[in-house]
Amino acid sequence: MSAAVVPPVGARIRQARLERGMSLRALAREVGVSASLVSQIETGKSQPSVSTLYAITTVLGISVESLFDARASSPMAGVNPPGGVLHALAAFAADPGRRIGPLVGAGERETLELDSGVVWERLGRVPGADVDFLLVTYRPGGSSSGSGALMRHSGTEYGYLTSGELILTLGFDEYIVRPGDAVSFESTTPHRYRNDGEVPAVGVWFVSGDVQ
């Protein structure tokens, strides 16, 4: 399998921010994180949590998929060092050859380690479709938001838990999601997942978004 061509995802975030005339501090304020963290994400020095990644793309008015467009150019090419989380994120988009599908073998999946004990494994991708098709693992103590804040983003979310247990906070309600349970909701509803158990919680997730 040939190596993926990895676009500079952190630089794409910076490029989108500058195109909107937004300062780093202004983006940080809108997302609800420190300017230092945004700077570290833009340069590939820090791992974003699920909630922070979605918050950044929501504030900038771009889709997550657009960050992975290998055809896009950036004045900061090369700032994401190999092995960083944004490097892995970008590899999702490159998808050369059989990584796109229609069949993705168990040993061919791209794996992404996010902050706060969350692992995404990409199960497939149809070019041009703004859908994330993922095997998601929440390690014991893992959460979609390290700060405990709820996240919201465009699109619709569908999930099916195969093992372990998750606590889903959705708006003002809280649900215990057990193996065999399924969830579906508009992703604009504030939400958060966490694993309070002692074993990993694993499930298959589809997140469809509006193409920007």
pLDDT (tens digit, 0 to 9) for every residue of the chain, 212 residues total?
333 333 456 778 888 999 999 999 999 999 888 999 999 888 877 777 888 888 888 899 887 666 654 444 444 333 444 444 455 555 555 544 444 567 878 877 777 677 788 888 888 777 667 788 889 999 999 999 877 888 888 889 999 999 999 999 999 999 999 999 999 999 999 999 999 999 999 999 998 875 43
Of 100, 108, 120, the closest CA to residue 48 belongs to 120
Q: Are 175 and 193 in contact (CB under 8 A)?
A: no
CB 184 within 8 A of CB 203: no
pLDDT of residue 1: 36
pLDDT of residue 193: 96
pLDDT at site 65: 61
For 37, the token pair is 């963290």
Which residues, 6 or more positions from 131, have their beta carbon under 8 angstroms from its beta carbon? 125, 206, 207, 208, 209
- Report residue 77 as tokens: 């090419």
Closest CA relative to residue 102, chosen from 125, 72, 134: 125
Q: What separation in angstroms does the CA of 178 have from each of 4, 144, 168, 170, 201?
A: 36, 17, 11, 16, 9
How far apart (Å, rounded) are the C-alpha atoms in residues 67 and 16? 9
Question: What distance in Å separates the CA atoms of residue 92 and residue 109, rounded to the nearest whole number?
Answer: 9
Other beta carbons within 10 Å of 151 = 19
